[in-house]
Structures are given as C-alpha cells and as structure tokens.
Amino acid sequence: MRGQNDMTEWLQKLIDRQSGKFPDYLGLEWTLAEPGHMRGRLVIKPHHIAPNGFLHAAVVVGLADTACGYGCWITLPEGAMGFTTVELKSNFFGTLSEGAIVGESRLVHGGRTTQVWDATVTREDSSKVLALFRCTQIILYPKTG
C-alpha cells in the first residue's frame, strides 16, 4: 500500500515535470497524486478568461486532460515508456469568471495497451460540477528488434 511519502514524491515529480510547460503556464497545482487517481486546482486569472468574459473552455480541458495524463503517467504498466492521448471528450454544465476550479481524475480502464480516464471539474467554493471529461490513452512501449 502506498503511503503519504509516495504521494509527496509523485507530487514533486509532477511539479518538476511541468516546469516551464503548458500546465505550468496555466498555473495548475496538484494536491493528490496516486496511481489511478489525481486531483489538482487552478486559480482563475485574467489570462484564463475568454473574450466573452467567462473561463475559456480550453482552460477547463487543460486541467482535466493534464489530471488524466499525469494519472496515466504514474499508472503506466511495467515496461511502458510513455503514452499519448488518442481521444477526448468534454461536456460543460457551467462556467465562472473568478475563483478557483478543481479537477479530479480516476482510472476507469487500465489495460496493457490503453487506459481510459474520467475527470470531473468543479467549482472549488461549492463543488458544483462545471464539466465532465473522458479520454483514452494509448500506452507506448520501446520498439524491439
């Protein structure tokens, strides 16, 4: 059974991994990291807002997809070298223009060649669901022969 030290180690690896990359630019912060389960948050800033005055859908997708991707990365089967997203879908139920959002992802299917992840994005202040997200990851292995 993995403990708090394992989670802390994963969180630090994820922080290091995203440094200077898109998730870092978005301002994603991670609060839970364990195989099969991720949770993170984002404080809404002016650059997250679309021209219509509300949170840009791509920001919500960025949080959800990153939560699923990081979960996949720490849940890779033995011998795998990485993964790539091959399909994603999101449904939006609400939006906001200030405050913070939380993204939580869970492994639905963890096979040798694919993983399917679901994520829920909520308002941090009320836990109201803003979006549901699902993605499929193809697991990559080193070429042999």
Residue 37: both structure tokens together? 């389960």
Q: How far apart are CA 64 and CA 60, in angstroms?
A: 6
Residues 86-144 have pLDDT tens digits of: 999 999 999 999 999 999 999 999 999 999 999 999 999 999 999 999 999 999 999 98
Confidence of residue 45 (pLDDT cuts 50, 70, 90): very high
How many CB atoms lie under 10 A from the CB of residue 115? 25
CATH 3.10.129.10 fits 4-140, yes or no: yes
Say yes or no to pLDDT of 22 above 80: yes
| pLDDT score at 144 | 83
Sequence ranges of the domains in the chain: 4-140
How many CB atoms lie under 10 A from the CB of residue 42? 24
